[in-house]
Structure 1
């Protein structure tokens, strides 16, 4: 798994190709040495923005770029020789899960609003390789705001350097087996914390994530029919509240790990669900996680409190950042950056953008 997700075309080696699936991980030994940077804490946090697809021509180009097979292969380590993964045809189960049922990781088959408001976020790195993360439509004034992880949008570096940002961003709510059940939405503009800029003291994205800044926001363009995204998908609640140890949390994502998953459990074809009590990371106490067997591609996925399995609705309180390899704790734990003041600042900026 990659040490740094947002590497440029000039310094990405084969192991770093795993970054194309949108994960943020590093070795436990390195993680043990990381603490929230005092330089980060001292620097005033602001919003760093970047334009996406503004013209109709650019929106049409991106929509055409993301064909079914290109979406299926996004995040492949060597897409030129990787076979297109088979569809996941796990049967749907309309029966809701009982409330607060622990789940270490399984295909979500129970429908509800989460099947519409959560989706797969596709992008292209500056070296031309495609990747994917997970993102969520949230309640907002402009009905066009989507939340994900910052490392799904860019790597640490000067925001004026175009190769620090990902390109061809495209959100497919309810993605399933290479299809766009609700259509696809190009991204008009995006934002991350200023701590992802030329980081103080030479800190990297791992340091910034451990310090609690791995949140990104997107403003989606309207659909081809002129509808705002939340009018198509619905939206989840969002809150910026302190975490509570033992609070029951549901997490969702589109993991895709062809290298470490020889049985093909994670192909990115279907949305995976986890649920359990949240705990802070022993090596990264600002990150909170629950038992969850997910991998690359789940980054940016929602962590919900107050989730109702019957309706598929909850309150977004965090986005997947990493696993126990960075944050410590039990094996197969998915840790979230909890939404706090910095994320609130990003959200307030995004929901005021016109579309």
Structure 2
């Protein structure tokens, strides 16, 4: 299909801060004030009827998924498939990796995927998300800024639309199918008035975790029954703990000289360090950028099985958090994330 015939919004849409960076956020000191008062869970309904689920599934065509994240999709070339060959050998344990296509086998190829959505202005974007152990076998974790911007929770344009999780996404395909989202939740710290607290301030204060409850597949299967799950923990970070990170960065769509197109899952690994400017965020050496947001940071990751424990989700880079160049920082999971997780896993799927 030629670029002139694509059915994308014909406007220069605002990209939004999918991976927070200095181009979209001021560098703010630790302890920046966010909304006062008790923290609670703010929820939003997604596709709740069969008609809505079918519409979302049909919306995310291979071409639309490949171009999610392009500033001007009408004139952006559709990325070529990434044909990096798979390697059946497991990656040796504790091998540093600054960023490369994950070519190895394991459960991570099924439980981690690309999360697609549409902004209120019609622009399509994407993040990364992970299926985690849960009572309802339908709980998916990502970054809060992938689900909404700061604002009144009743304002529909604050939230992302057409939320759609594609586990194991690869080159525009849905190898395990696609899952529309029944409901989403973030911390109430994102409920600030527009023009007051920014999403960047809330994120660096440690509240950039979001959770999703996935609808069942067309065959009636819960997402975890299709993908398997990863462990999840709400523990304090440890200096130099070896962490593995996964995501779907897509910076090349808007910069021909950049590295990633979102076609394949990317892997990074290395020792965790707190951000020098934002010590609540912890990061590892990694060159991933926009699109990696919400991706899992695994502790105790077994490179043979592809199973680990999600202890954080990607939030930002060193431009905001400080530290060495090409460092990818996570919101580590603590009490706020536990509250969201407990809410999500009790929802019916």
Q: TM-score range by the shorter chain?
A: over 0.9
Confirm whether residue 222 of structure 1 aligns to residue 216 of structure 2.
Answer: yes
Q: Distance in 2 between matches of 1:169 and 1:28?
A: 23
- Equivalent residue in structure 2 for 1:80, among 67, 74, 78: 74
Confirm whether residue 30 of structure 1 aligns to residue 26 of structure 2.
Answer: yes
**Does the aligned pair in 2 maintain the 1:253–1:273 contact within 8 Å?**
yes
- Equivalent residue in structure 1 for 2:173, among 161, 176, 179: 179
String of CA shifts for 1:278-304, please: whole Å, max 9, x gaps: 000011110000000101000000000
Q: Which deviates more, 197-206 or 120-129? A: 197-206
CA 1:257–1:201 in 2, change beyond 3 Å: closer, same or farther?
closer
The two structures have a TM-score, normalised by structure 2, of 0.94
Q: CA deviation at 1:39?
A: 4.6
SS of corresponding position for 2:64 = helix
Alignment of structure 1 residues 125-204 onto 2, 5 Å: 125-198=119-192, 202-204=196-198
- Residue in 2 that maps onto 1:4: none
**Does the aligned pair in 2 maintain the 1:124–1:169 contact within 8 Å?**
yes
**Does the aligned pair in 1 maintain the 2:34–2:201 contact within 8 Å?**
no
CA 1:201–1:45 in 2, change beyond 3 Å: closer, same or farther?
farther
String of CA shifts for 1:195-250, please: whole Å, max 9, x gaps: 00125992101110110000000000001100000000000000000000100000
Superposed structure 1 runs of 4+ greater than 6 Å apart: none
- Residue in 2 that maps onto 1:296: 290
CA 1:165–1:306 in 2, change beyond 3 Å: closer, same or farther?
same
Q: Distance in 1 between matches of 2:24 and 2:180?
A: 36
String of CA shifts for 1:59-107, please: whole Å, max 9, x gaps: 0000000000000000011101111000000000010111010000000
**Does the aligned pair in 2 maintain the 1:25–1:206 contact within 8 Å?**
no
Confirm whether residue 19 of structure 1 aligns to residue 13 of structure 2.
Answer: no
**Does the aligned pair in 1 maintain the 2:253–2:261 contact within 8 Å?**
no
Q: Distance in 1 between matches of 2:131 and 2:255?
A: 29
Q: CA deviation at 1:166?
A: 0.4
SS of corresponding position for 1:17 = coil
- Alignment length (residue pairs): 340
- Equivalent residue in structure 2 for 1:62, among 35, 53, 56: 56
**Does the aligned pair in 2 maintain the 1:28–1:328 contact within 8 Å?**
no
Alignment of structure 1 residues 37-52 onto 2, 5 Å: 37-40=32-35, 42-52=36-46
Q: CA deviation at 1:258?
A: 2.3
**Does the aligned pair in 1 maintain the 2:278–2:322 contact within 8 Å?**
yes
**Does the aligned pair in 2 maintain the 1:173–1:181 contact within 8 Å?**
yes
SS of corresponding position for 1:224 = coil
User: Any stretches of 5+ residues in structure 2 without a counterpart?
Assistant: 1-8
SS of corresponding position for 1:208 = helix
**Does the aligned pair in 2 maintain the 1:27–1:326 contact within 8 Å?**
no
**Does the aligned pair in 1 maintain the 2:181–2:214 contact within 8 Å?**
yes
- Equivalent residue in structure 2 for 1:243, among 210, 225, 237: 237
String of CA shifts for 1:15-43, please: whole Å, max 9, x gaps: x73327x2222259931x43223454x42
